Structures are given as structure tokens and as C-alpha cells.
Structure 1
Amino acid sequence: MSNAWRLTRPRRLSNRASWRTLRAGALTLTGTDFGEVSAGSAVLFDYGSRSATVISDSPLIERWTSDVIDLSIPWEVVSGELRVVVDGIGSEPVELLVFDYDSVDIPISGNNEQGIFIVEHPLAVAAGPDGSVWLNEEFHVGLKVIASGPDLTLSAVEIPQAEGPGIFAQTASGHSRARFSSLGEDVEIASDGTVWFTQGGANFYPDDAAFLNTSRVINFDPETGKVSCYNLPVDNAAVYGVLIDDARGMVWYSESRTNAISGFRPNSTISDCLFDPYAGDNPVQICSDGLLDSCHLRFLLPNAGNPAHLELDTEGNIWFTESLGNKIGRLTPETGELVELPLPATISQTFPGSWVGGSPWELAFDEQGYLWVSEFFDATVTRIDPALVDIAECEQLDVAGQNPCITEVYVASDGLDGKTIHSVTIDAANRVWFGLEQNLDGQAGSDRAQIGFISSDHDSAVVMLPEIEGVTSVAGIATDYASGDIWFAQYWEHKVGRLHLVTAGQEDDGGDCSPANPEACVDLDTDGDGCTDAEELGPDEQLGGRRDPENFWDFYDTPNQNNDRDGEIDLPNDILSILRRINANDSNGNAEINRYSDPKSPIPADITAYHPAFDRSGPQGDDPWDLGPPDGYINLIDVLGVILQYGHSCSGFN
């Protein structure tokens, strides 16, 4: 699918259409009647009370043809709307979402097993209501958390276990007991703010091997620091997913190795963080005779489907993925009824996808009740309509190999390219986010990753962010509903990445360049007017202060024929230059078109000719200069504006 949103005439774009990119990122716009490169053609950005323009011959334009525009958006542009203007006629506005990317390094502590150093990898993430982000890892010994706030401080929670070589089994370096959990597949935040996550030894560990392989579900209370450990009643279960069921007072989990969906009531079930499976029989009981207290309730699956992640629908049914069965399951705990929906045949032709299948993995419900699933090895995002399950033939594929309850909305792979999609998350705008990763073993430079989403109206419109430098892997992905941030685990880079939506008035969140933090702006000149952002934000008007670092038009420092500025408002270069141009106007007599002129274009040789560098709109508020864009005429307002700025200099940091 194209990474562009279509702009057409007549102008009938849906107001739900959106495009997204990174700060100063790339955009490709396709459509019709864009015309040729000309002074009256531009891409106009509106965000809050501000606007920015990229004219068709700007250096930011890589390509401008009648049907394609490739450009990089200016750094100052944040989320808002964009329009394409051709000969003064604009398209309908399209929503633009602009994100900043940053990341948190996850230090490697490592685990020494049989002389081999085994390192942890971030895998599952969840955002709490206070903005903290919790992290579960493969090969971990504890839980990690990124505290909310501008500093993004990382800390770790130690999870106790019995003394000795360890309660888990590992196969990363031979076969041995281990104190680290090979599995770190899930982490969830309960409504009371406590954190639930899973621990387990090596997956696919042989049942007849020499060592026991404990799995357990952990609860951590950030308020009290209390850790509770709920050991599974069976060995070698390889627990993956965890699900909090407030209505029933239950916590559910998947036994991937022993193929069961199981659960327990935390308020009546034994917690024992120091349980030693080698010290005697496991005291944890399996429920029987309809009892639910002080025991674990197990629902065995009929096939070895390797259940993974779990979700709860509004009717209390438990939905789960079968990663090796290529199915989606639905369990009704009160009756034990199980429905399994087969997915279409896998497309992956490379190992291990060619062996294990498409591997449905993570799943999430949207606000319309649809269930979204990531198919890992098929690099596919699938939508399930639960309303059809009881009225359609959904427990088997039709003659065309399709399931009437299932729509594979986005298929990113051709089966040979090594692409994968690990997880999905639904944001507050009902967008379905996912991470697309490519890793072709043995091919240099093949590792790469992108973040994308499916539009909220689910019309199959898929939008992908440009590739982010240094991001080569995306595992678990989660939404922070308080801030709207999207967090994701960068498995191979040992980082947790964040996408933050930048909106008007919030451009400098996170302690970056801002009036409160001008030292962060010293080396930046966002609007390219010759003054650094720190100088423009300063209180001293004689040093160019009290200006807007994102507005090129707020400074009358005239560029010369080489497009250089001297950073100072003086008599010969600025005041006399504008006096010579009094009464000049743009050649078309059209102030709107002139607004789209490149502010950095060279000054014309004719010293009486119009140029937007000398032109402003009227004064804005109490500011002693004019902040508006050109109005198309050099008049008294402009002369007074430059006189009011006389003596302003940008030499304070030189």
C-alpha cells in the first residue's frame, strides 16, 4: 500500500483522513492537477494559530509533478492540517499528525550460565495510568519501570525466588537450571494500579529433561512495594499471556507448553515467592468439583495450539491466540464452551514461519468491538468480527480458504521477505498501531523496522511512519492513554522507544528548547532567520529577544544577494532598504499567493522591487514588531516595524 494520502480535485477528502510523520520527516502526496513548479504553488501547513509554507521550488521539495509531491516538512511544523495550493486554489485540508521519537536505554545486566553471558531483551510493555511504563524482558530476573516525567528515569524491581541455582530451566547455553526467566512475554496494569506479568523457563523444554521448569504469575504493587508470586500447579507450562478479569475477581493466564487457559483468584490463592520445586511436592492445587477458591482452574485445549495472549470481551468471554495452531480461540469460563476460528493458510515460506505457520500472537479489542490480531510470521494485521461467530460458519475455512469472521486487513509480507509484526495496540482515537520488522538472516543491512497504524474508520487505509534511524526492531507496543504516547520495545537495540504526538502549544514538551529552557536552544535556528532559538526566546530586545523561534517573518534582518543575514537591524542594510521599497507590491497583486513565497529567496537586484523579506502584516498584540506573514504590500506598517526593531542584534551568543 502506498505511504501517501491522496489529494484530488474536486476537493472531497474525508475529514477523518490523516497523515503522519516525524518532526522534519518526509511526506509523499499523490493526486491530480498539482501542476508544474511555480511561485503560486505550495504546500501549506496550519497548526494552532500558526502556519508554514513550502513553495514548489523550495529545497524541501524533492519532487513536484502533476500527480506526486515528495517533500520534507519544516522542523517547526507540528500536528494540524495541510493543503496543496496550486495557482492560489487549495485542496481540502487533510489532518497531519507529527510525532517526536525518543528512547530509553535499557542497561544490560546479563546472566552468567555455564560460562556464557546471556543478556536480557525488552519484549513486552504496558503504560500505567500515572504515565509510568512497565517492561517485561526475555532472560530477566526482575521487572523494569520507566517513571513518568521529563527525565524518563529507569529503575528495576527485584523479584525474589528460592536460594540455589534457580527454579527455571534454560536452553540458551546447554541445559541447566537458571535464576533468570527465559520467557517475558506479557505485562498488564490492573485497574487498582498493580502490575501483573509472567515468568517462565525455556519454551519447548523437553518433558523428560533433567530439570524442573517452573512458571509463575507475578503481581507487584507500586504503592507498597509488595511482590506476590503465584506458582503454576503444573511443571513446564511455559506461561505466556496474563489477563485481569475484575468482574470475576480472577487472573487468567495461558499455558503455552501444556496447552491450557487457566486462572485463579488472587485473594484466596497461595502466594509463595520462595517456592522451591526441588524441595518437595507443589502445594498449589488444581480446582475440582466446582470450587474456585485456593486453586487454579484449568481449561485444557483439544489440540497443541500453543496459546499465547489473552483478551476479554464485554460479555466475559476470553479470546486468545494459538500461535502454533494458526487459530483464534474463544472460551466461556462458566460453561467451558470453546470456539476455535482457523486463520487462512500461512503465506510465510521462510523458516520458522514455513514450519509453525503464521503465528497469531497479540490481540486487542477496539471501541467498536472488533478484535485485532497480529500474525507474527505472516506480517499481517487481522480483524475479527465477534458478532458473526455464532451466526456464521466460522469454525472452518470455506472453499476459497477464507473465514467469514476474519479479514486480513493489512498483509505486509510476500512470504519471502522475512517481515514480521509482533504486536498491536489501540489508541484513544481507535487507531490500530503495530510495528513492522524485517530481518533477513545473513543479509547485511536487512534489519529495519517501521511503526504504522490502520485508520480509525478501518477502511484499510494504512499509514506508515518513515523509518527511524537506529530502530531495527519492534516487539511489544502499548498506548499511554493519559498522554497519547505510543511505547514500543526495541528488542535488539536494548531500548524502549516512544512516539509523542506534537501539537500546537506543546512543541517543546520533555524539557527541550522552550522559553523555560533556553539553554537547550543555543545552537538551534529553527526558522533560519539568523538568530538562534535561545536568542529569540531571551528577554533582551537588544539581543533579538522576545521573538518567536518558529516564525521566520518576525525579524526584518534583510538578506543580501547571497542570501546571508548579518544578525542585526541597522541603518544601511535594513531601514534604508525598506524605505527604497515603500509602496512596492507583489507582482500578481495577490497577497495570498505571496504568502507562499520562500522567505529565504534572494533579494532582487532592483532595490525598489517587492520582496517578502521586507513585508509583514499588522502588529500583533503588545509585541514591538510584526509577527504576521507578508500581506503583499510594502507600506508604513513595514517601515515602522523595522524602525521599532532598530538595534536588535543576534550577537549575544557569538
Structure 2
Amino acid sequence: MTVSAADPLGGFAEYPDPLHAPCEGIYHAPSDQIYVEEIVNPGSNGNIGSLGVLDPVTGEIARYPLPVPGTTAGGAAFGPDGKLWFTYFGASSGVAFLDPDTRLFNAFPTPSPNSTPTDIWPGPDNAMYFTESIAQNLGRIDLTTHQITEVPIPGGGLNVPTTIIMPGAGAKMMFSAALANRIVEYDTATGEFTHHDVPTPGAVPQGLTLGADGAIWFSETLGAKIGRIDPISGDITEYPIATPEVPVPSMGPLVLGSDGNLWSANGGFTGGSTIGRFDTTTHHIDYFPLPRPGSGPCDIDSVAAATGKLVIGQTTGGAIAVAEIEELNAIK
């Protein structure tokens, strides 16, 4: 049994999940439970990872080993069908879902066996879109037929290693090509790709989100900046985010909060331990320390943030942290 902190520390309540490297927490509003992507949880079928279901009232986590041997989960998101969809990779590659009602899995291998899909998100056309880092494809699974199609991403080879995918404006999906140092948009209606090269060399753009102003905002993990792509001109403006308090932010995922600010998980696998709040009008950033040092916040749930709740997976810290945006804003 795991239990949460009796009282929030610095605005954050924590739910320990030791030895399982929780990377992502996905808030499920209908049940008020949090689904947890656990990178490490060897099971009897030879798998590597699991999905957990955290009850915030009791702090208990029910674990469900992944159904495909030798695999762990990549990104995860609830689809319009109500299922928790996730990518998996390792001994094989594919996408799968966990049914919240039955707690049963269904897995669908990708046509490219070693595609290594990394992230997944619902598109505008009754489908889930996912990025394939090794195969260099953009994948799509139809939620009615469960048929998978793959579209090669222009650039080829290791020029476009894809990471985080999110919905863009209109019929577009957008994803970060971290090592190629660019943000890419894909029009699901026309099949057209648009590349946005980041001005700072080697910035490693990762987290990205559609801002309240209609612009694409993204984090630069090594560039120590937040970037903005103008929705009309495509021009990129960059804003430094290093402060004396946090000289090396190592900013990862970026989400739009219910307050109109951008919130970020900073540290990831580098052992950082802060959450950032960036004002898109003043371009000022504040950092909030997580309760445990070196917690390595890996991801932050964008759907929960839109409703006023921050749900953060702390990979090296072995815990899920939860905070109310309103309460953090009252602190500073």
C-alpha cells in the first residue's frame, strides 16, 4: 500500500511509487483516479513496464503489467473512445489500450516491427496519432477499425527523431523533432508537413503546446529557453528561462494551464526537481520546488492542467505529485 503526504508540501501532495520509475500521470476525471505509466515493473510474462491506477483518496496503486513481453510504455493519453491509449516498445513495437472499466488490454503491433513509437495523442478525425522514433514515421490508428497506417516523416534517417505529439490548430497535429532541432506540423486533412527550425543550435526542443494566443509554444531542454511560433508568419521568438535560482532548468514537457500560463516539468532524467510557471504576456518565469530533491519530473498532464490541476510523474524520485494551480498561484 502506498500513501500520500498527509499535508501538501509547498503546494504539492505526493503519492509514493518507489522502484517503478513513474514517468507520466494521466488524470481520469470521470473516476478522479490517476493512471500512472511505470517504466520499471518486470512481470511474469517477461515485460518491462506496467500501467498503474492511483486512488488519490487511499494512495493505493493497482498495477497492470503490459500485455506484450519485453516491452515498456511510451506516452499515454485517453482517446475519445474513453480508452487509455499508449505506445509500447522494446522487444516489439505497437500501440495498445487499457479499458478503464474492465482493466483489460488490447494491443496492436505497428507494421514496422522496430518502429519504437514514443508518444500518442487523439487527432481530430476519430484516430490516435503517434510518433515512431526509429522508423521515422507518423503513425495513425483508426478508433473504429483499429487499422494502423504509417506516413514517412520528411528528413529521413536520424534527422527527425520524434518525441512529444500534441494537437495543433485546426486539423493539424504537431510534434517535436528533438535532435533535428525543429518543431513539425502535420495537416491531417492534406497530409502536408511543415517544419519550423529552432534558431538556437542544439536546443533539443521537447515539450510543446498550443497557447491561448493560438501560437505554438515549446521548451528547449538544452537551450534554456521557451520558444513561440507565430501562427501566421511561422517566425520563432525565444525567451531565456534560466534564473539565479534555477540556472540549469532542463525544461521538458510544457502545458497550458487553466490560468493561461504555461507550466513545465523541469529536470527529467537529469535529476532536477522544479515546476515552472511562464507568463506568456510578461515572459516572466517562476519556479516551484517539488517536495523531494532530485525527483526528475518526467511529464505533466496537459488535460488535467486545463482543468486547474497539475499531475506530475517523478521518475527518479519515485512518486506522483499533484497540485492545484490556484493554490500554487497563491504562493507566489
| Residue in 2 that maps onto 1:103 | 14
How far residue 502 of structure 1 moved from its aligned partner, in angstroms, is 6.9
Tell me, yes or no, if structure 1 residue 371 matches structure 2 residue 195.
no
- 1:145 shift after superposition: 1.9
Task: Tell me if structure 1 keeps the 8 A contact 2:305–2:311.
Answer: no
Q: What is the Cα deviation at residue 259 of structure 1?
A: 1.0
Q: CA deviation at 1:342?
A: 0.5
Alignment of 1:167-566 (within 5 A): 179-181=70-72, 184-201=73-90, 213-245=91-123, 247-269=124-146, 294-303=147-156, 304-346=159-201, 357-389=202-234, 405-412=235-242, 419-437=249-267, 447-455=271-279, 457-466=280-289, 468-479=291-302, 480=304, 484-500=308-324
Task: Measure how far apart 1:124 and its partner are.
Answer: 2.3
Cα offset, 1:495, TM superposition:
0.9
Match in the other structure for 1:144: 52
State the one-letter code of the partner of 2:17.
I
Using CA pairs under 8 Å that are at least 6 residues apart, name the structure with larger relative contact order, 1 or 2: 2
Query: CA offsets, 1:490-529, max 9 Å, x none?
Result: 11111111223576xxxxxxxxxxxxxxxxxxxxxxxxxx
2:62 to 155, 159, 168: 155
Q: Is the CA contact 1:380–1:411 (under 8 Å) kept in the aligned structure 2?
A: yes
CA distance in 2, matches of 1:482, 1:385: 22
1:419 touches 1:438 (CA, 8 Å); kept in 2? no
Given that 1:129 and 1:482 are in contact with CA atoms closer than 8 Å, whether structure 2 keeps it comes out as no
**SS of 1:100's equivalent?**
coil
Please give the per-residue CA displacement for 1:534-571, whole angstroms capped at 9, x wherever unaligned: xxxxxxxxxxxxxxxxxxxxxxxxxxxxxxxxxxxxxx
Say which SS state the counterpart of residue 273 (structure 2) adopts.
strand
Contact kept? 1:373, 1:381, Cα under 8 Å? yes
Which 5+ residue runs of structure 2 have no aligned equivalent? 1-6, 41-47, 328-332
**Alpha carbons of 1:301 and 1:105: their partners in 2 closer, same or farther (altered >3 Å)?**
same
Q: Indicate the residue corresponding to 2:23 in structure 1.
A: 123
Answer whether contact 1:426 1:432 (CA < 8 A) is retained. Answer: yes
316 and 180 in structure 1: CA distance in 2 versus 1, 3 angstrom threshold: same
What SS does the corresponding residue of 1:465 show, helix, strand or coil? strand
Partner of 1:287: none
Following superposition, the deviation at residue 374 of structure 1 comes to 1.9
SS of equivalent to 2:119: strand
1:376: Cα distance to partner?
1.9
In structure 2, C-alpha distance between the alignment counterparts of 1:419 and 1:452, rounded to whole Å = 9
- Structure 1, unpaired ranges of 5+: 1-22, 26-98, 109-119, 167-178, 202-212, 270-293, 347-356, 390-404, 441-446, 504-654
Inter-partner Cα distance in structure 1 for 2:204 and 2:49? 27
Between the aligned partners of 2:176 and 2:207, the Cα distance in structure 1 is 7
Q: 1 CA distance for matches of 2:266 and 2:104?
A: 37
Q: Secondary structure at the match of 2:267?
A: strand
User: What is the distance in 2 between the residues matched to 1:435 and 1:492?
Assistant: 13
Corresponding residue of 2:45: none
Q: How many residues align?
A: 308
Secondary structure, in 3 states, of the residue corresponding to 1:453? strand
2:35 to 127, 131, 134: 134
Amino acid at match of 1:200: F
Would you say the 8 A contact 2:153–2:160 is kept in 1?
A: no
Q: Is the 1:419–1:439 contact (alpha carbons within 8 Å) kept by the matching residues of 2?
A: no
**The residue matched to 2:250 in structure 1 has which SS?**
strand
Distance 1:251 1:151 in 2: 32
- Mark the structure with the bigger radius of gyration: 1
Q: Distance in 2 between matches of 1:366 and 1:104?
A: 30
Question: Could you list the per-position Cα deviations for residues 96-151 of structure 1 after superposition, in whole angstroms to 9, with x for gaps in the alignment?
Answer: xxx6222111142xxxxxxxxxxx4222222122332222233443211212x432
Give the secondary structure class of the aligned counterpart of 2:200. Answer: coil
CA 1:436–1:317 in structure 2 vs 1: closer, same or farther (change >3 Å)? Answer: same
| Structure with greater strand percent | 2
Question: Are the counterparts in 2 of residues 135 and 187 from structure 1 also a CA contact under 8 Å?
Answer: no
Question: Residue type of the partner of 1:452?
Answer: G
Question: Does the 8 Å CA contact 1:237/1:258 hold for their aligned counterparts?
Answer: yes
Aligned residue type for 1:432: L
Cα distance in 1, alignment partners of residues 52 and 141 from structure 2: 25
Stretches of 4+ aligned residues off by more than 3 angstroms: 466-472, 500-503
In structure 2, C-alpha distance between the alignment counterparts of 1:248 and 1:194, rounded to whole Å? 16
Change (3 A) 1:225 1:383: same
Check conservation: 1:450, 1:468, Cα contact below 8 A.
Answer: no
